Amino acid sequence: MAKVKVYVTLKPSLLDAQGRVVQTALENLGYGNVEDVRIGKYIELEVKENGQTLDTQIEEMCRKLLANPVIENYRFEVTE
């Protein structure tokens, strides 16, 4: 059983509206020194190895479902 951590982030060129809202909220709480906030997804998968290359499988899952490659970047790491 492998544990996979996937990080999905909005592409840097795109405005992160949700992040902007959080930044304003932090400012209102007194944290005016926060210059930028970007919000992404952190996904943990538990995958049973089935002979296929795990990396290829996870790559496919990211492209097909977990991330939207048009607007998002993703990276993942496999741990045991």
**With binding defined as CB under 8 A, does residue 57 bind its own copies?**
yes
**With binding defined as CB under 8 A, does residue 73 bind its own copies?**
no
- The single residue among 1, 13, 70, 80 that binds its own copies, judged by CB under 8 A, is 1
End-to-end alpha-carbon separation of the chain, Å? 7
- The single residue among 14, 17, 34, 71 that binds its own copies, judged by CB under 8 A, is 34
Size of the site for its own copies (CB under 8 A): 33
Q: How far apart are CA 76 and CA 44, in angstroms?
A: 10
Question: Which H or E run includes 76?
Answer: strand 72-79
Spatial contact of 40 and 18, defined as CB atoms under 8 Å apart: no
61 three-state secondary structure: helix
- The single residue among 20, 43, 73, 78 that binds its own copies, judged by CB under 8 A, is 43
Q: Which residue's entry shows tokens 């209102």? A: 28
Q: Which residues bind its own copies (CB under 8 A)?
A: 1, 7-9, 19, 22, 25-26, 29, 31, 33-50, 57, 61, 64-66
